[in-house]
């Protein structure tokens, strides 16, 4: 691959003239410009991105950190981020953290060291530890959960879907349909994502004075395998719940599969609502909570680019409202079925 010095030697001009011709800025005669561009094409010249980054102090890249690359929930979010970044000639660099705080902190250090101009940060648990690093980072970050530091002087934006409300709506739907024995499969309640969704379930049950049966409460890790394990636990109880609210589609599909294998009819024997409204849920006719993943990604990327291009400003928080996507899996049990 040729350098600008080799092109200058071939063209009989100075390297600075070549640089101006290739950039399309600064003075360069039309004759020289045309000759230089022809030589550059013939010599297969490719501009050095590293050199341009050093000069502009920008990489034209954004780190996009997600905890689970196997979860289809993130596919549409990736598309939303990518579509916006493309408009600014930016590239997303996908970073897989496995939900580990140590890996999240490593990615934040990479951001501070200049591997990207900003970060869209998805996490199961925004803790004081990683939030402190975000607030002290020298580059902009947008979170996809709602987080407000106790001091109230955060330096990041948030774009989030109200998952508390989403689970509340799913539970409320079952209650209004006449179900009184409702189970729940959720995530780890010691982390933010699991806690918010479980709180939505508890609030709905308490608001409608519906008894909470501890035997029907199961904890998974948002994987299909954990949904299967939770459903096997429920099958071992003296009686099944009439309905089941599940904190994401993968766990709901895992539970659904165990029901099919055991001859348990959905919704006749147990009704199910998941969360994410994924393509898998649609294919299985599984009711779910729509999570606006592509919109989350797009809005997060726009806020991030605003900070990258225009500098610091007051924190912005964007809350998106979930919706129920009701399908056959959550229909009311027929009398006599």
pLDDT exceeds cutoff 60 at 52? no
Host domain of residue 253: 163-291+325-330
**d(Cα 67, Cα 79) in Å, to the nearest integer?**
16
How confident is the model at residue 47, as a pLDDT?
Answer: 67
Q: Is the domain of 26 the same as that of 85?
A: no
Q: Is the domain of 13 the same as that of 92?
A: no
Q: What percent of the chain has pLDDT over 70?
A: 95
pLDDT exceeds cutoff 90 at 36? no
How confident is the model at residue 71, as a pLDDT?
Answer: 87
Cis peptide before 291 (omega within 30 of 0): no
Q: Is the domain of 184 the same as that of 267?
A: yes
Q: Is the domain of 181 the same as that of 222?
A: yes
In a domain, 256, yes or no: yes
Q: Is the domain of 153 the same as that of 70?
A: yes
**d(Cα 337, Cα 333) in Å, to the nearest integer?**
7
What number is the average pLDDT over the span 288-303? 97
Which H, E and C letters describe 116-165, residue by residue? CCEEEECCCCCCHHHHHHHHCCCCCEEECCCCCCCCCCCCCEEEEECHHH
Instruction: Say if CB 157 and CB 142 are below 8 A apart.
Output: yes
Domains in the chain, number: 3
Total number of residues shown for the chain:
337
15, 36, 133, 215, 237 from 45: Cα distances, Å: 14, 11, 40, 68, 70
Weakest mean pLDDT among 17-31, 151-165, 319-333: 17-31
Instruction: Output the pTM of the full model.
Output: 0.81
> For 79-100, how does the pLDDT look when each residue is reduced to its tens digit (9 = 90+)?
999 999 999 999 999 999 998 9
How does residue 336 score in pLDDT terms, banded at 50, 70 and 90? very low
> How far is it between the farthest Cα atoms of the chain?
92
Q: Tell me the CATH number at 257.
A: 3.40.50.2300
> Which tops the pLDDT comparison, 287 or 148?
287
Quick count: other Cβ atoms within 10 Å of Cβ 176?
10
């Amino acid at each position: 691959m040729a350098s600008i010095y080799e092109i200058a030697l071939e063209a009989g001009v100075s390297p600075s003239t070549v640089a101006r011709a290739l950039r399309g800025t600064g003075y360069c005669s039309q004759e020289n410009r045309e000759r230089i561009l022809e030589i550059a094409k013939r010599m297969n010249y490719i501009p050095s991105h590293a050199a341009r980054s050093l000069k502009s102090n920008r990489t034209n890249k954004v780190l996009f950190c997600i905890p689970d690359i196997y979860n289809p929930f993130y596919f549409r979010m990736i598309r939303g981020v990518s579509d916006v970044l493309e408009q600014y000639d930016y590239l997303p660099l996908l970073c897989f953290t496995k939900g580990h705080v140590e890996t999240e902190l490593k990615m934040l250090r990479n951001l501070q060291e200049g591997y990207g101009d900003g970060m869209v940060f998805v996490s199961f648990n925004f803790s004081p530890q990683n939030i402190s690093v975000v607030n002290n980072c020298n580059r902009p970050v947008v979170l996809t959960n709602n987080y407000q530091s106790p001091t109230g002087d955060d330096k990041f934006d948030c774009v989030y879907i109200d998952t508390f409300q989403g689970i509340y709506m799913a539970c409320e739907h079952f209650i209004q349909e006449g179900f009184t024995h409702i189970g729940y499969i959720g995530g780890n309640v010691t982390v933010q994502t699991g806690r918010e969704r479980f709180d939505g379930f508890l609030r709905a049950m308490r608001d409608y004075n519906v008894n909470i049966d501890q035997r029907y409460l199961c904890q998974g890790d948002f994987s299909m395998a954990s949904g299967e394990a939770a459903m096997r636990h429920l099958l071992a109880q003296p009686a099944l719940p009439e309905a089941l609210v599940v904190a994401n589609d993968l766990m709901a599909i895992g539970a659904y599969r165990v029901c099919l294998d055991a001859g348990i009819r959905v919704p006749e024997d147990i009704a199910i609502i998941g969360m994410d409204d994924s393509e898998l849920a649609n294919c299985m006719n599984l009711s779910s909570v729509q999570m606006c993943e592509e919109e989350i990604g797009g809005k997060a990327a726009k806020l991030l680019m605003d900070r990258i291009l225009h500098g610091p400003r007051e924190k912005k928080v964007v809350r998106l409202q979930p919706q129920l996507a009701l399908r056959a899996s959550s229909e009311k049990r027929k009398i006599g079925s």
